[in-house]
Amino acid sequence: MSEAASPSEQPLVQPQAPASPAAAPTPAGAPARQESTGVSFLQAAVLAVVCSAAAGYFAFTAAVARQPNIPQIAFLDSARITSAQLDEMLNQPGVTPEQARAAGQKLVSDLNREMQRYTDAGIVVVNSSMVLNKAPGLDVTKDVASALGVKLK
Protein backbone atom coordinates (compact mmCIF):
# COMPACT_ATOMS: atom_id res chain seq x y z
CA MET A 1 0.00 0.00 0.00
CA SER A 2 0.95 3.53 -0.24
CA GLU A 3 2.75 5.36 2.45
CA ALA A 4 0.49 8.44 2.25
CA ALA A 5 -1.40 9.29 5.36
CA SER A 6 -5.10 8.87 5.28
CA PRO A 7 -7.32 11.86 6.03
CA SER A 8 -8.17 10.45 9.41
CA GLU A 9 -4.48 10.41 10.38
CA GLN A 10 -3.82 14.11 9.57
CA PRO A 11 -3.61 16.47 12.54
CA LEU A 12 -6.76 18.39 13.30
CA VAL A 13 -5.04 21.62 14.24
CA GLN A 14 -3.44 23.60 11.44
CA PRO A 15 -0.17 25.39 12.25
CA GLN A 16 -0.58 29.14 12.64
CA ALA A 17 1.62 31.83 11.12
CA PRO A 18 3.78 33.66 13.60
CA ALA A 19 2.17 36.80 14.98
CA SER A 20 3.25 40.05 13.31
CA PRO A 21 4.63 42.92 15.37
CA ALA A 22 1.48 44.92 14.64
CA ALA A 23 -0.65 42.20 16.16
CA ALA A 24 1.34 42.28 19.39
CA PRO A 25 -0.39 44.05 22.23
CA THR A 26 0.69 47.62 22.81
CA PRO A 27 1.20 49.22 26.16
CA ALA A 28 -1.76 51.08 27.49
CA GLY A 29 -2.09 54.60 26.02
CA ALA A 30 0.48 54.06 23.25
CA PRO A 31 -0.69 54.45 19.66
CA ALA A 32 -0.80 51.26 17.65
CA ARG A 33 1.95 50.86 15.04
CA GLN A 34 0.68 50.64 11.46
CA GLU A 35 2.39 48.63 8.76
CA SER A 36 3.43 50.43 5.59
CA THR A 37 1.83 48.71 2.63
CA GLY A 38 1.77 51.56 0.06
CA VAL A 39 4.22 54.02 -1.48
CA SER A 40 5.74 56.87 0.43
CA PHE A 41 5.01 60.51 -0.29
CA LEU A 42 8.54 60.97 -1.70
CA GLN A 43 8.09 58.08 -4.12
CA ALA A 44 4.75 59.48 -5.27
CA ALA A 45 6.25 62.95 -5.75
CA VAL A 46 9.18 61.61 -7.80
CA LEU A 47 6.82 59.54 -9.92
CA ALA A 48 4.59 62.59 -10.51
CA VAL A 49 7.57 64.74 -11.58
CA VAL A 50 8.83 62.07 -13.98
CA CYS A 51 5.38 61.58 -15.53
CA SER A 52 4.87 65.34 -15.84
CA ALA A 53 8.25 65.82 -17.53
CA ALA A 54 7.59 62.97 -19.95
CA ALA A 55 4.13 64.31 -20.80
CA GLY A 56 5.55 67.80 -21.40
CA TYR A 57 8.32 66.47 -23.63
CA PHE A 58 5.94 64.39 -25.75
CA ALA A 59 3.43 67.26 -26.02
CA PHE A 60 6.19 69.63 -27.18
CA THR A 61 7.49 67.08 -29.69
CA ALA A 62 4.00 66.53 -31.09
CA ALA A 63 3.36 70.28 -31.35
CA VAL A 64 6.62 70.84 -33.22
CA ALA A 65 5.81 67.98 -35.61
CA ARG A 66 2.44 69.57 -36.46
CA GLN A 67 3.89 73.08 -36.84
CA PRO A 68 3.85 74.22 -40.48
CA ASN A 69 7.10 75.35 -41.97
CA ILE A 70 7.68 78.94 -40.94
CA PRO A 71 9.00 80.97 -43.88
CA GLN A 72 12.38 82.55 -43.55
CA ILE A 73 12.77 86.27 -44.06
CA ALA A 74 15.64 88.19 -45.65
CA PHE A 75 16.19 91.90 -46.18
CA LEU A 76 17.46 93.47 -49.39
CA ASP A 77 18.57 97.06 -49.95
CA SER A 78 17.60 97.25 -53.62
CA ALA A 79 18.20 101.03 -53.72
CA ARG A 80 21.83 100.47 -52.72
CA ILE A 81 22.32 97.90 -55.48
CA THR A 82 20.61 100.09 -58.07
CA SER A 83 22.63 103.14 -57.01
CA ALA A 84 25.90 101.22 -57.22
CA GLN A 85 25.01 99.93 -60.69
CA LEU A 86 24.00 103.42 -61.84
CA ASP A 87 27.24 104.97 -60.51
CA GLU A 88 29.27 102.30 -62.29
CA MET A 89 27.42 102.99 -65.55
CA LEU A 90 27.78 106.77 -65.32
CA ASN A 91 31.53 106.45 -64.75
CA GLN A 92 31.94 104.80 -68.16
CA PRO A 93 32.72 107.32 -70.89
CA GLY A 94 30.45 107.59 -73.91
CA VAL A 95 27.40 105.72 -72.56
CA THR A 96 24.36 106.34 -74.75
CA PRO A 97 20.80 106.51 -73.41
CA GLU A 98 20.03 103.22 -75.16
CA GLN A 99 22.95 101.51 -73.43
CA ALA A 100 21.83 102.92 -70.07
CA ARG A 101 18.24 101.71 -70.69
CA ALA A 102 19.48 98.25 -71.72
CA ALA A 103 21.73 98.02 -68.64
CA GLY A 104 18.80 99.04 -66.40
CA GLN A 105 16.52 96.44 -67.98
CA LYS A 106 19.22 93.79 -67.57
CA LEU A 107 19.63 94.72 -63.91
CA VAL A 108 15.87 94.39 -63.34
CA SER A 109 15.79 91.05 -65.16
CA ASP A 110 18.78 89.71 -63.22
CA LEU A 111 17.33 90.95 -59.93
CA ASN A 112 14.00 89.21 -60.68
CA ARG A 113 15.89 85.99 -61.50
CA GLU A 114 17.81 86.23 -58.23
CA MET A 115 14.62 86.89 -56.28
CA GLN A 116 13.07 83.79 -57.87
CA ARG A 117 15.88 81.72 -56.33
CA TYR A 118 14.89 83.03 -52.90
CA THR A 119 11.22 82.36 -53.65
CA ASP A 120 12.00 78.77 -54.69
CA ALA A 121 13.90 78.29 -51.42
CA GLY A 122 10.86 79.54 -49.44
CA ILE A 123 12.55 82.75 -48.30
CA VAL A 124 10.52 85.95 -48.20
CA VAL A 125 12.63 88.96 -49.26
CA VAL A 126 11.59 92.34 -47.89
CA ASN A 127 12.94 95.67 -49.08
CA SER A 128 15.08 96.86 -46.19
CA SER A 129 13.78 100.43 -46.50
CA MET A 130 10.45 99.13 -45.18
CA VAL A 131 11.91 97.33 -42.16
CA LEU A 132 11.89 99.08 -38.81
CA ASN A 133 14.12 96.68 -36.91
CA LYS A 134 16.73 94.79 -38.89
CA ALA A 135 17.90 91.63 -37.21
CA PRO A 136 21.56 90.84 -37.79
CA GLY A 137 22.32 88.13 -40.32
CA LEU A 138 19.16 88.61 -42.38
CA ASP A 139 20.52 91.23 -44.83
CA VAL A 140 21.27 89.57 -48.19
CA THR A 141 22.20 92.76 -50.06
CA LYS A 142 25.90 91.85 -50.43
CA ASP A 143 25.07 88.33 -51.60
CA VAL A 144 22.58 89.52 -54.22
CA ALA A 145 24.92 92.29 -55.42
CA SER A 146 27.70 89.74 -55.80
CA ALA A 147 25.41 87.42 -57.77
CA LEU A 148 24.46 90.34 -60.04
CA GLY A 149 28.06 91.44 -60.52
CA VAL A 150 27.49 94.80 -58.83
CA LYS A 151 30.27 96.22 -56.65
CA LEU A 152 28.89 97.87 -53.55
CA LYS A 153 30.63 100.79 -51.89
* Domain assignments of the chain as residue spans, ordered by start: 38-67, 72-148
24-48 tens-digit pLDDT: 555 666 666 666 667 777 887 888 8
- Cα–Cα distance for residue pair 97/51, rounded to 1 Å: 75
**First vs last Cα of the chain: how many Å apart?**
117
Residue that wins the pLDDT comparison between 114 and 136: 114
Q: What is the pTM of this model?
A: 0.51
57-72 tens-digit pLDDT: 777 777 766 666 666 8
In single-letter form, the type of residue at position 97 comes to: P
pLDDT at 151 over 80: yes
| 147 closest CA partner among 104, 114, 116, 109 | 114
pLDDT of 116 reads 92
3-state SS class at 1: coil
CA distance readout (Å), 58 to 45, 46, 61, 67 = 20, 18, 5, 14
Over pLDDT 70: what percentage of the chain?
69
CB 33 within 8 A of CB 21: yes
In single-letter form, the type of residue at position 64 comes to: V
Burial class of residue 91, CB neighbours in 10 A (0-12, 13-18, 19+): exposed
CATH architecture observed for domain 72-148: 2-Layer Sandwich (3.30)
